[in-house]
């Protein structure tokens, strides 16, 4: 099988695309359930300390990424296996619950397709090998982080911290003779993690000192630290500039066209994740093109 993938790039990309569709379906579960799991844990801690009753009812009993089985949020009907095939089931059901005919959010097939497309691009960019494998792992994590942050303005430590440690661990396998590889040198990874965290932390502290307000969350610091651990400190300026530019454009567009109030925060994690993913695939090309234009 490995020989087939090595000799046929289209076959490798197609298999990765199909595999990532399934993972995208699981990521939908993560995006929906992980914030609830986090809130349950926080509430249990608060109730234990303060002895205060909850204001909002959360799921009781076992509730994690495995159980209970997926149900329709409207009627509670358990979703059958054939109704949970990535993208295809959504199309066959016409975007509706098979039982109550309530509309199903288009987010589910979109996350599945996005995950599959990004993973396929990683397979195309890096080819068969560990680089493609690790790039796809990072892609899965960034998709989950982006969607959770966009919906809840939370970046779960349970995703971003393992991502950072994996990046540091990968650096131990850096090939000394390689000039361009996803596996960077340990020094670059360690400095990247430290610089990534401290750069946004410094901006946060300065903004708070000048305005008395918090401009971003600590999850953003940790995410940039993880990206620095994976890609090295040399790529941090590209990630920061790219994410800031896209974030500014989106923020201004929301205020102009959708009357988005300035007091309402806009999550920064998706822009960091997007910039980090693009930099992972084409960071050196972007940097060299920019330097050529400037010089």
Output the average pLDDT for the chain: 86
Cα separation, 160 vs 144, in Å, equals 10
Of 170, 166, 219, 174, nearest in space to 196 by CA: 219
Q: Where are the domains of the chain?
A: 1-117, 129-295
- pLDDT band for position 57 (cuts 50, 70, 90): low
Q: Which two tokens stand for residue 111?
A: 């996350």
Cα separation, 157 vs 178, in Å, equals 32
Q: Which two tokens stand for residue 12?
A: 């490798």
Distance set, CA 137 to CA 77, 129, 163, 230, 263 (Å): 32, 13, 9, 12, 35
- pLDDT band for position 121 (cuts 50, 70, 90): very high
User: So what's the pLDDT on residue 111?
Assistant: 96
User: So what's the pLDDT on residue 195?
Assistant: 97
User: So what's the pLDDT on residue 1?
Assistant: 66
CB distance 180 to 152 below 8 Å: no
Q: Answer with the residue of higher pLDDT: 31 or 217.
A: 31
Rounded mean pLDDT, 224-236: 95
Residue 96: strand pairing partners: 103
User: So what's the pLDDT on residue 6?
Assistant: 74
Contacts of 289 (CB under 8 A, 6+ apart): none
Whether the pLDDT of residue 55 is over 70: the answer is no
How many residues would you count in the chain? 295
Question: Tokens 């959770």 appear where?
Answer: 148
Question: Among the listed ranges 122-131, 135-144, 175-184, 251-260, which one has the minimum average pLDDT value?
Answer: 175-184
User: So what's the pLDDT on residue 179?
Assistant: 47
Whether the pLDDT of residue 181 is over 70: the answer is no
- pLDDT band for position 26 (cuts 50, 70, 90): very high
Whether the pLDDT of residue 54 is over 70: the answer is no
User: So what's the pLDDT on residue 2?
Assistant: 64
């Amino acid at each position: 099988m490995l020989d087939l993938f090595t000799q046929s790039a289209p076959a490798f990309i197609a298999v990765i695309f199909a595999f990532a569709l399934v993972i995208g379906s699981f990521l939908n579960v993560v995006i929906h359930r992980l914030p609830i799991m986090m809130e349950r844990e926080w509430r249990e801690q608060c109730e234990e300390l303060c002895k205060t009753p909850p204001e909002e009812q959360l799921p009781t009993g076992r509730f994690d990424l495995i159980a209970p089985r997926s149900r329709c949020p409207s009627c509670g009907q358990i979703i059958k296996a054939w109704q949970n095939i990535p993208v295809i089931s959504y199309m066959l059901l016409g975007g509706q619950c098979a039982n109550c005919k309530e509309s199903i959010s288009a987010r589910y097939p979109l996350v599945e397709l996005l995950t599959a497309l990004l993973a396929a691009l990683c397979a195309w960019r890096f080819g068969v090998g560990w680089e493609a494998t690790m790039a796809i792992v990072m892609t899965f994590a960034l998709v989950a982080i982006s969607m959770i942050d966009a919906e809840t303005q939370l970046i779960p430590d349970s995703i971003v911290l393992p991502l950072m440690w994996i990046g540091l661990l990968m650096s131990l396998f850096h090939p000394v003779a390689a000039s361009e590889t996803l596996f960077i040198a340990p020094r670059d990874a360690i400095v990247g993690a430290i610089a990534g965290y401290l750069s946004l932390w410094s901006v946060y502290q300065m903004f708070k000192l000048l305005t008395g307000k918090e401009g971003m969350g600590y999850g953003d610091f940790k995410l940039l630290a993880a990206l620095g651990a994976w890609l090295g400190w040399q790529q941090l300026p590209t990630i920061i500039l790219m994410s800031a530019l896209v974030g500014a454009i989106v923020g201004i567009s929301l205020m102009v066209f959708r009357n988005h109030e300035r007091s309402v925060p806009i999550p920064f994690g998706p822009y960091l994740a997007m910039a980090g993913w693009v930099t992972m695939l084409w960071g050196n090309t972007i940097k060299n093109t920019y330097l050529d234009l400037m010089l």
